Each structure stands twice: as structure tokens, then as C-alpha cells.
Chain A
Amino acid sequence: MKVITLFFIAFGLSVAMAQNKQVLYGLEEVPQALLTNPGGKMPAGQKAHFGIPLLSQIHVNGGASGVSVYDIFGESTVDINTRIQEKIFEMSEKDFFTATQQLELISFGWRGNNEIYYSGGVYQELDFISYFPRDLAILAWEGNADYIGYRFDLGQVSATADLLTVYHFGVNKKIGKRLTAGVRAKVYSSIFSASSTDNKGTFVTELGDENSENIYEHNIEGADFLLRTSGLTNSPTSSEVVGRAFLGGNLGVGLDMGATYEVTDRITASASVLDVGAIFHNKNVESFRAQGDYTLDGIELIFPPLNAGEGTFPYYDDLEDELEREIPVDTITSGYTEMRPLKLNAGATYSFGKFVGGQECDCLHKGQIERTQAVGLQYYSIFRPKGPQMAGTFFYYRRLWDFLSAKATYTVDSYSFSNVGIGAVVDLGKFIFYFAADNILSYGNLAKAKSVSLQLGFNIKIDEE
């Protein structure tokens, strides 16, 4: 039951977050760390890896920056409507709800004779973000009566939703003694996509002056709304959806790049940029655009002289026609290009403690030195419709035994200042299991969490003999 509740929170309630995988970033033992930095350092002895299909990486992430489930539904003597009202006014239009889910279908990698580590795979991704349209929420919650003269910003509506499959292949090579660099090419196959960002317009009810036709003037000013969709024009059959997942959808291309530099034996710096790319939507595209200005001042009666049985003017229809004329909704079927949300990662690590394996130079592994403990800082940022969302992380890493390493993180982000995460990698020779979860302090009561992120997976790796 509680598990169901967890997934309810992860998938259902939380409209989802930033894809930050702060625990996984830099966790070299896990092959999927290459997806957070294609230029990550690869364990020297690793010859190949295979993800267990569908189980190699499961990632769910959900969050709301301004509000938790507990804020609204917590047991309290305060009426729920009072709490909702307080939250509406407390939150800003920059607050957001997000949900991300990734499922790796296939994952593999191997070390070539030229010491290049090749890796590739396929994963499916669902990504959703909606900003909080504060003014519209106030209008819906309170109406316009107390807001005569207040300009409601209709442009606060901003949301995107994407379901896609990603095919990727990357290379990673140690260049010289200190630098490791990598790139990864990606092909996106969009199953469906919908986005409405960069909207504009205001709605204001103003008291009329002596020249006004009526008591109020209800004005929509400078409205410019655009909703783009692809893959939603019909109800696709399941075989169509599968077809789109397998490169039959709207395609796009992208690139990940990254590098790790060992500044000294103890200090390592790394950075990556992910999803530099775009999807070109040209199949099953349907977009809607509404633009214009409109003033409503009620219905003007003309009192036309009528003979018996004659009807008067269709005032109400005329009003609706006028609205449609002034703010027409155009349907557009031409294609559009959608940028992928760009992500940046950077990290600095200071290693200390004993050497792994107890020797200073693991000569078998070409001089690579591994220590058992590390601390460091990480930076993460994702570019969203209203600007980047950032997170800073402090971490402590420890290799407890050969078969178990763990990483603990403390993250400050849009959601909270108290996000503690943990991750562990269990390395049983050929078999690696990992999990990473953040906001673990909230697992005691997930209702109080503003975001939850979870990754886990099973992989097989083959080391050099």
C-alpha cells in the first residue's frame, strides 16, 4: 500500500522536476553515470557493460517548487480552502510543478582496442513542467469583483509535456594522463509533444468613464496564445505509438558533451552539457494560435421597430461572433522545431583516505589512483521556459568495501534547502545494482516533500581479467 502511495506521489500528484541526478553524477561505478557526463572517468578495468533490459535504469522524479501535498491536505483545524487561498497568494508565477520519468530499455558499452569506451542504448522519457499561473488562479478562486483595475497576466500560462524515446551512442576516451573526454550523439523519436510557452496578454476589468458605453469595460489586451501539439491529432493506436517510439515519430538530434580533468592526484574537475538539440515536429502537427484585443461592454439593445412575429437582432450570437473575429483562433498544421531542455552539470571533487586496494599505484590499471573517500561540490542547471532552474550539491563519497560504495548529497534547489540524498552501488563482480534517492528526510512522510527523485537499476559488467 505504501509503495503504491509512493508511486502515486511520484507519478500522479507531482506534476515533475528538474531531472537533477545529483547522486548519480560522477558515480563512476554505475554505467548510467555516463548519461550524466559522457566524459566521466571510466573504471579502468571495465571492459564492457550490459544493462538488464528494462531494469538498467528506472528514474522517476516529481516536484512542486512552492507547495507540498501536506500544505494542502495535511490534517489541520484550518479549513482547506483557507490553506489553498494562502498558497495561491504565497506562490509566484515562477513556481512550477514538474514530473520526469525515464526507463532504459537497452544499455550497453564496451572498451575498444583503441582504449575508447563506446556506450549506447535506448531509453524512454516523459517530461512535464507547468508553471503556476498565479493570476488565473486568483481569477478563478476569487473572481474579478475585488480586482477592478487589476491587470491579470494571462501570459503566466506556460507548460510543456513530452513523451519520447532516445537512441544514443557515445564515445569516451582518456586523453593524456589527466583528461577524459566524451561525446554522445542522440536521436530523439517523439511520441507526443505539447507545449504552450511565451504566451502574452492581460485581462482587466475597468470602471468606465463618462464616455463609456457601460459601467465596466472588460478588456483582453495584446493576447497572443500558442499551443503546439504533435502526435495528438488523432487517437493513435497502440501499434502507432510503438512505431513512433521506434523512430517512426517526429525525429530530432542532439548531443551530450563532457569532460573530466584530474587537476592533481586529489582534485578532479568535471563538466557536462546534455541534450544540446532539437526535435523537428512535422508529422501529426496541430497548433492553435489566438491573437488580438477585445473589449466587452455588455449587450447594446437597439429597440428596432418590429412587426408582429418579427424577431429582434441576435445580440448574443453577434457578441460571440465579434469575439471570434477580434481574437480568432487559428489552427496551424505547419511543422515546428522544439529545443530540448538543455542541462548543465559541473563538479569538483577532492579525494582522500586510503588508496583503493591498499596500494599507491595500481600499476595494472595504467597508473590510475583511486582513493576511498571524496568530498565535492556539484552544480546543476536545466533550461526551462522561464529560465534556468539551478541546484547546488555538496557530497561525500565513500567506498566502504570493494563491493559497496555510497554517496550522500546535500542539495539546495528551487524546492528546498534541506534535500539530503543517498545512493549506493553494490558491485558483485559481474553484477552491479545501484539506487539513488533524494529528499530521503521526507520519506518518513512523503506528503511533506516538495520533490522526490529516485533512480535504480541493474547492470552486468565485465572486467578485464
Chain B
Amino acid sequence: MKKNLLIPALGVFVGLLLFSCIKDTDFDQAENVTLTPVVELDLIHFDVAANEFFDEVTNTARLRLVDTTEIRFLDDTEIQESLLRADFLFRFNNTIPREFAVNFQFISEEGEETYATATVVPAGTMTNPSTPPDFIEVVEGEEVLQLTGANRVVISVDIPSADASLEGNLNLQSKTTYYLEIKERD
């Protein structure tokens, strides 16, 4: 008689397991989970003195300064998939009495230009620096793919004329706002 109770006891326990369940849930929603971080990140900066535009050894003007840096993460697969939009902000301060043409070229690993932009910085003086409004370049839509095809940026600074007596500095600060959308992709 007593032993028969093992069955009901086990029955209660198994029943607890069987009648326990997960209800009113939809795990397919996991596919819709999307992270949309907006990341603010410094980009490049420089502070070029006027005398760099004149080579005292050869006594000639250097009318173009060029430099290159890798931005290695830009063409990562994750960034290529996730980047929706990138806002570049360039802030200049010019105390050199010359107007500058500044070019930004984004170059792919294969050496091809994938994206480019340019701006002009008005002339300034030591006492009255030229601080043009922030130059903002918004990259979105199809252009994002061009941007993320690059892994380095070439910056060139053109000065119309220079001599040994030229004074002042050209200063650049810059940052990028990356709008990302990270989700499961097929």
C-alpha cells in the first residue's frame, strides 16, 4: 500500500516539470535586437608653423604639405556593415596671413581614392586669427560605403605663396561622430 505512493509522488514532481512552461514569449524577437550607439571620437589634429612652408636650405617655398595616416578600423567588416552615417567636424584656427586650401582624401588599401572632401581656410593674423565656422562633412547613404572602403586619409595643405618672413600657425582639430547600427545580419 505504502509503496504505491511513490508513483503519485513522482507524478506530482513530473507534473510540476510538465506543467511548467514558458508562455507568452517570442524568442524570434532576438533577431530584432539592434544596438544603435552614437560614438564621438577625435580624429586628427595638427599645428603647422608658417616656417614649414619655406625650405631655408634650398631657399624655396613648399607650397604643399602632405601627410597620411591610417585609420585602420574604418574598413573593418563590422564598421562596413554597421556604419549608417559619419559626421566629420574640422575646426581651423589660422594666424598665417594666407588663405589655405585643405584637402582630405580617403584612400583604400589598394591605393584608390574612395572619398574626398575639401575646404578653404581664410587668411588670419597673429592679432586677429581666422576662425572659420566648423567645417562639417556629413557622410550618409551610398557615400558611407565609399568612406568605409578606405583605411587611411591623406591631408594636403596648399598655400598660395610663402617666404622666410611668414609668421603664424595653422591649427586643425577634428572629430567624427559615428552613427552605428549593430544587429544580426543574414
Contacts and interface: CB of A to CB of B under 8 A. Distances in A.
Interface of A: 2-3, 5-6, 9, 69-70, 73-75, 79-81, 84, 139-146, 148, 205, 208, 213-218, 296-306, 312, 314-317, 403-404, 424, 426, 428-429, 431, 433, 435, 437, 440, 443-447, 456
Is the contact region of chain A dominated by helix, strand, or loop, or is it mixed?
Answer: mixed
Interface stretch (B12-20, B115-123, B136-144, B160-168): B12-20
Contact of A433 (B9, B38, B39, B45): B9
Given A81-B33, A299-B69, A316-B72, A69 B22 contact: yes
A296 B41 CA distance: 9
B127 interface: no
Contacts of A447: 22-25
Contacts of B48: 303
A208 B45 CA distance: 13
Given A143-B40, A205-B40, A74 B25 contact: yes
B45 A297 contact: yes
Contact of B12 (A144, A297, A301, A424): A424
A143 B13 CA distance: 48
Interface of B: 2-3, 5-6, 9-10, 12-13, 16-27, 29-30, 32-46, 48, 52, 55, 62, 65-72, 89, 91, 155, 157, 173-175, 177-178, 180
B48 to A, nearest CB: 6
B26 A2 contact: no
Given A81-B32, A300-B44, A315-B69, A305 B22 contact: no
28 contacts: A5-B21, A70-B24, A73-B29, A140-B37, A141-B35, A143-B180, A145-B40, A208-B173, A214-B42, A214-B175, A215-B89, A216-B40, A217-B42, A297-B42, A298-B41, A298-B45, A300-B46, A305-B55, A306-B66, A315-B69, A428-B2, A428-B3, A429-B2, A431-B6, A440-B16, A443-B20, A444-B23, A446-B22
B66 to A, nearest CB: 7
B11 to A, nearest CB: 11
B161 to A, nearest CB: 18
A142 B55 CA distance: 49
A447 B27 CA distance: 11
B66 A303 contact: yes
B44 A298 contact: yes
A63 to B, nearest CB: 16
A303 B157 CA distance: 10
A3 B18 contact: yes
B43 to A, nearest CB: 5
Which of A5, A9, A81, A429 lies at the interface centre, i.e. has the most chain B CB atoms within 10 A of its CB? A81
Nearest to B39: A143
A305 B62 contact: yes
Given A2-B18, A446-B21, A301 B46 contact: yes
A324 to B, nearest CB: 15
Nearest to A429: B2
B40 A144 contact: yes
A50 B14 CA distance: 24
A314 B71 CA distance: 11
A316 B151 CA distance: 11
B39 A145 contact: yes
A437 B67 contact: no
Contact of A215 (B17, B71, B173): B173
Contacts of A316: 69-72
A73 B27 contact: yes
B142 to A, nearest CB: 23
Contact of B68 (A213, A312, A424): A312
Contacts of A445: 21-24
A75 B25 contact: yes
Nearest to B178: A143
A422 to B, nearest CB: 9
Given A140-B35, A214-B42, A297-B42, A302 B67 contact: yes
6 interchain residue pairs of minimum CB distance: A143-B37, A298-B42, A145-B38, A443-B20, A316-B70, A315-B69
A71 to B, nearest CB: 10
Contacts of A314: 70
Contact of B37 (A141, A218, A299, A315): A141
Nearest to B156: A303
A403 B16 CA distance: 21
A314 B67 CA distance: 11
Nearest to B64: A303
Given A143-B37, A145-B40, A215-B175, A426 B30 contact: no
B25 A70 contact: yes
Contacts of B29: 73, 80
A403 B24 contact: no
A80 B42 CA distance: 32
A213 B45 contact: yes
Given A301-B46, A428-B3, 7 more contacts: A2-B18, A2-B22, A69-B22, A74-B26, A218-B42, A312-B67, A316-B69
Contact of B22 (A5, A214, A216, A433): A5
B65 A214 contact: no
Contacts of A148: 40
B37 A303 contact: no
B177 to A, nearest CB: 6
A457 to B, nearest CB: 11
A445 B25 CA distance: 10
Contact of A69 (B5, B25, B52): B25
